[in-house]
Amino acid sequence: MHDVNTLAWIILLLPLLVAASILFGLKKMPGLSALLSTGSVLITLVCSILLFSATGKAVPVTWISIFEFKVNIGLLVGGDKDPLAKGMMFIVTFIGTLVHIFSLGYMKDDDGKARYFAGLSIFMFSMTGIVLADNLVMMFIFWELVGVSSYILIGHWYNKDSAADAAKKAFLTNRIGDFGFMIGILLVWVLTKQIEFAKFTPEIVANAAKSPLFDIAIIAIFCGAIGKSAQVPLHVWLPDAMEGPTPVSALIHAATMVAAGVFMLARVSALIGASELAATVILWTGAITALVAALMALQQNDIKRILAYSTLSQLGYMVMAQGIAGQGADAGMFHLYTHAFFKALLFLGAGAIIFGCHHEQNIWKMGGLRKKMPFTFWTFAIGTAALIAVPGTSGFFSKEGILHAAHAAGHDFPWVIGLIVAFLTPFYMTRLFIVTFLGKSRTENADHAKEVPQIMFVPLVILAVLALFSAYKPIAKFLQAKGYAHAPEIDPTFGWSLFGLIAGVGLAIWIYKGREKERINIPLFANKFYIDEIYNGLIAIFQDAIAGLLDFIDRFVIDPVVARFPAMTAFTAGSFFRLFQVGNLQGYTFLFGAGVVALIWFLLF
């Protein structure tokens, strides 16, 4: 069992098997489906823990080889050289397990329970595929599968128009990024003739980097991350995706799927390092996303949306880190790792609140939940502390890491943006926290809120512990994280971010303590910079115009020339050929004889 190959294949295939058996056989048995799905993810978790100490190498299977283009189904968890996959695999399976357990309670009475758990299993399959992929093509396939499974999960309540629309939006927005990713993969292949991560050696990369196309290739690959990790300008799908069940939000939109983009960038960091232009684009995209998302979060009222925007903002940090030369990629992965725990905690906490408040999501209709849901209150508080980077919590160390790296690499302006975000985050999170938990209950739903069932506590507690301590050496080292806690250096980064934290929390307390409704009103932020509206406008103008043009071409050029004419020719030819099928034996014999004569003539004369 302690063999990398076996473990990796189990992790990859078990969820698929479960999903298939639920979809094809157990659909009518939701209870069993849920248990099976949860059991399978538990097994994969155990496997991924065993993976840390496993030896050996995963054996790739050749999938297709076409001329020089060879694709393996390879599993990249090769030994010590690659802690990336092991750590990521742990996060994915771990968060996955907790979300499954939480869902057992959350989705208890849902009509589509079997479908839901099948969806989760498909998602786990796709996500582990991304983590294990040893080449870009395989990663891309699973990348798309993640897109599909998130579509299924976001649209779980497909009877609700908003959920169906959100699922569609998520899928289409991701497709835009994925298209870039695909072009990027093809370009990289053209330039290097390689698609395997291990084959991107410095010489090959340096050789490829001579081509002017190289920068474009890397930026195109980055497009995939923009879509999946919801960076500006493709971030619009993530807040809407909150229409899905809350555990899904915790799984997909906090810890795993959105982190896939960052993971992918870390995987191709060898390529990014060779392209200064691409690195700069990545750095700035991340920084801008971090800032813009934090600003949007200031004025949201839906508890899940606030968390969604904060996710965007934190992902901005991670992506930004990928664009920093040197320690950046590691710092980004470290933040991904700590963030996975505390953001999953916050989302599950939000799920507990929503569950307790009878599906109320507006924070202004809550209030006073501290007494009603003490347990949720404390765990949520811990999650918040980690997110706003209270010194000593895991979030603090990883965030410092990124800001340090930016400072050290001399990216002053992104560094300043990072610090501003470090002020905004405490502000909006404190706002959320005060309005939700403190003060008096403002509606009946909140007044009647009850603590959630015990099965939903388990994940909350485990995650709370990790949110606090996951950055400390023993845990971090065991999980092969890319960094761990150390005594804070007293330097400008530390000083300013501490100041930002105190200022943010203080300001939020001053503004929101004891308030019944929103005091400040900034329509620009509340309306998310009107980006959705702008997109709608652009789409209305361009898409309609293009569609009109294409329609014209289709009708008057393509249809007659490419479709009708060949179709008619083919049909005529077919009917002509049918004439040979005279149906009587004499005719056939004659044609047969004619064929013989023709053949002999052809061969001999």
Query: CB of residue 85 vs another protein: minimum separation in angstroms?
Result: 22
Structure tokens at 80: 């010590």
Query: CB of residue 596 vs another protein: minimum separation in angstroms?
Result: 5
Pairing of strands 61-66, 69-73: antiparallel
Residue number with CB closer to another protein (55 or 584): 584
Structural Rg of the chain based on CA atoms:
27
Beta bridge mates, 75: 133
**By CB under 8 A, residue 63 contacts another protein:** yes
Q: What sign does the dihedral 330-8-253-466 (CA atoms) show?
A: negative
What secondary structure letter does DSSP report for 430? H
**By CB under 8 A, residue 598 contacts another protein:** yes
361 contact partners, CB below 8 Å, separation of at least 6: 302, 303, 304, 354
Residue number with CB closer to another protein (391 or 595): 595
d(C-alpha 173, C-alpha 223), whole Å: 11
Query: CB of residue 63 vs another protein: minimum separation in angstroms?
Result: 7
**By CB under 8 A, residue 602 contacts another protein:** yes
Residue number with CB closer to another protein (142 or 355): 142
Amino acid (one-letter) located at 294: A
Query: CB of residue 146 vs another protein: minimum separation in angstroms?
Result: 18
Structure tokens at 383: 């999650």
Residue number with CB closer to another protein (541 or 568): 568
Q: Which residue in the set 59, 64, 534, 546 belongs to the binding site for another protein (CB under 8 A)?
A: 64
* CA distance readout (Å), 403 to 132, 259, 426, 526: 29, 19, 16, 28
Q: 360: burial class by Cβ within 10 Å (0-12, 13-18, 19+)?
A: middle
Query: CB of residue 47 vs another protein: minimum separation in angstroms?
Result: 23
d(C-alpha 31, C-alpha 45), whole Å: 21
What secondary structure letter does DSSP report for 256? S
Written as one string, the DSSP assignment of 195-254 is -BGGG--HHHHHHHHTSTHHHHHHHHHHHHHHHHTT-TTSTTHHHHGGGS-HHHHHIIII
Beta bridge mates, 55: 3
Stretch that binds another protein, among 58-66, 295-303, 306-314, 368-376 (CB under 8 A): 58-66
108 contact partners, CB below 8 Å, separation of at least 6: none
Residue number with CB closer to another protein (64 or 540): 64
Query: CB of residue 587 vs another protein: minimum separation in angstroms?
Result: 8
Query: CB of residue 603 vs another protein: minimum separation in angstroms?
Result: 5
535-594: which residues touch another protein (CB under 8 A)? 567, 570-571, 573-575, 577-578, 580-581, 583, 585, 588-589, 591-592, 594
Q: Which residue in the set 2, 59, 62, 542 belongs to the binding site for another protein (CB under 8 A)?
A: 62
Query: CB of residue 18 vs another protein: minimum separation in angstroms?
Result: 17
Residue number with CB closer to another protein (560 or 587): 587
Residue number with CB closer to another protein (190 or 596): 596
Query: CB of residue 580 vs another protein: minimum separation in angstroms?
Result: 6
* Burial track 458-475 (b if 16+ CB lie within 10 A, e otherwise): ebbebbbebbbbbbeeeb
Q: How many CB atoms lie within 10 A of CB 319?
A: 28
Residue number with CB closer to another protein (212 or 583): 583
Written as one string, the DSSP assignment of 149-201 is HHHHHHTTTTTSHHHHHHHHHHHHHHHHHHHHHHHHHHHHHHHHS--BGGG--
Written as one string, the DSSP assignment of 332-387 is HHHHHHHHHHHHHHHHHHHHHHHHHTTS--BGGG---HHHH-HHHHHHHHHHHHHH
Query: CB of residue 71 vs another protein: minimum separation in angstroms?
Result: 11
d(C-alpha 407, C-alpha 497), whole Å: 13
441 contact partners, CB below 8 Å, separation of at least 6: 366, 367, 368, 369, 372, 447, 449
Stretch that binds another protein, among 56-64, 192-200, 424-432, 541-549 (CB under 8 A): 56-64
Residue number with CB closer to another protein (1 or 604): 604
For residues 279 and 325, the answer to whether their CB atoms sit within 8 Å is yes
Query: CB of residue 574 vs another protein: minimum separation in angstroms?
Result: 4
**By CB under 8 A, residue 510 contacts another protein:** no
131-160: which residues touch another protein (CB under 8 A)? none
d(C-alpha 530, C-alpha 469), whole Å: 39
Residue number with CB closer to another protein (61 or 557): 61
Residue number with CB closer to another protein (517 or 578): 578
Query: CB of residue 578 vs another protein: minimum separation in angstroms?
Result: 5
Residue number with CB closer to another protein (557 or 594): 594
Query: CB of residue 584 vs another protein: minimum separation in angstroms?
Result: 9
Beta bridge mates, 64: 71
Query: CB of residue 186 vs another protein: minimum separation in angstroms?
Result: 17
Count interface residues toward another protein (CB under 8 A).
31
Residue number with CB closer to another protein (510 or 577): 577
Query: CB of residue 70 vs another protein: minimum separation in angstroms?
Result: 12
71 in helix, strand or coil?
A: strand
**By CB under 8 A, residue 69 contacts another protein:** no
**By CB under 8 A, residue 61 contacts another protein:** yes
Q: Which residue in the set 26, 47, 66, 482 belongs to the binding site for another protein (CB under 8 A)?
A: 66
Residue number with CB closer to another protein (545 or 598): 598
**By CB under 8 A, residue 68 contacts another protein:** no
Residue number with CB closer to another protein (71 or 388): 71
Written as one string, the DSSP assignment of 554-604 is IIIIIIIIIIIHHHHHHHHHHHHHHTT---SHHHHHHHHHHHHHHHHHHHH
Q: Which residues bind another protein (CB under 8 A)?
A: 61-64, 66-67, 567, 570-571, 573-575, 577-578, 580-581, 583, 585, 588-589, 591-592, 594-596, 598-600, 602-604
